[in-house]
A and B are shown apart, each in its own frame.
Chain A
Amino acid sequence: GENVGLHLPTLSVQEGDNSIINCAYSNSASDYFIWYKQESGKGPQFIIDIRSNMDKRQGQRVTVLLNKTVKHLSLQIAATQPGDSAVYFCAEGPGGYNKLIFGAGTRLAVHP
């Protein structure tokens, strides 16, 4: 396999637990935020996005929370499954969905 996320922080969770992945962003002018999942050998896969006029958005088993006061973004995954194991990246868009700026990434390891 390739070493995507080899040196990234790791969050280890038990299967069935809820996972929370955190991200601090840098630009207070950013108005668009997105989470991607990257499995080994693949390109980043869109999970969920949120615009700055919202503070919460829900998808299937995932919720994104945005706290603009402290420039913090989080991804919550409910009932984490082994298939959720991957590297997760947050990204911010100072000009919407163009010119995304990616965070460092977090490796999620799900244990049976």
Chain B
Amino acid sequence: SAVISQKPSRDICQRGTSLTIQCQVDSQVTMMFWYRQQPGQSLTLIATANQGSEATYESGFVIDKFPISRPNLTFSTLTVSNMSPEDSSIYLCSVGPGLAEETQYFGPGTRLLVL
């Protein structure tokens, strides 16, 4: 499976600021996704990061709040804009499929606390 890294691994931010999270994969992948996992909860898909075009957002998530970039087949960023304490979550990048596997593999996540 692909090796996925995320930066930063965790951060503490002040309300009103923005944070950009990076996701790097060690091989080219077709699909990259961003999920949110609120404290004690399951995972919710934020958007699909499309290479060379605008991301596809799920219901309840908008580009102004969560701008996403995907400049190539191995890298994507998610920005959490104008943060509030309600944005405190784990943000996870996933990729799929790889060369042989048709599934989604997750990165280690970015743990965000907004004060």
Contacts and interface: CB of A to CB of B under 8 A. Distances in A.
The answer to whether A and B come from one shared complex is yes
Interface of A: 2-8, 34, 36, 42-46, 49, 89, 91, 96-105
Given A42-B109, A104-B42, 8 more contacts: A2-B39, A34-B104, A44-B92, A49-B103, A97-B96, A97-B102, A98-B96, A100-B104
B82 to A, nearest CB: 24
A105 B40 CA distance: 10
B107 interface: yes
A99 B92 contact: no
Nearest to A48: B103
Given A3-B39, A4-B37, A36 B45 contact: no
B28 to A, nearest CB: 17
Interface of B: 1, 4, 31, 33, 37, 39-40, 42-45, 48, 58, 90, 92, 96-97, 102-109, 111
A92 to B, nearest CB: 12
B112 to A, nearest CB: 11
A50 to B, nearest CB: 11
Given A3-B39, A4-B37, A7-B40, A45 B106 contact: yes
Contacts of A5: 40
B40 A3 contact: yes
15 contacts: A5-B40, A6-B39, A8-B40, A42-B108, A43-B107, A44-B106, A46-B1, A46-B104, A96-B102, A97-B96, A98-B48, A99-B45, A102-B42, A103-B42, A105-B42
A89 B96 CA distance: 18
Given A4-B90, A34-B103, A44 B1 contact: no
B104 A97 contact: yes
Contacts of A89: 42-43
B37 to A, nearest CB: 7
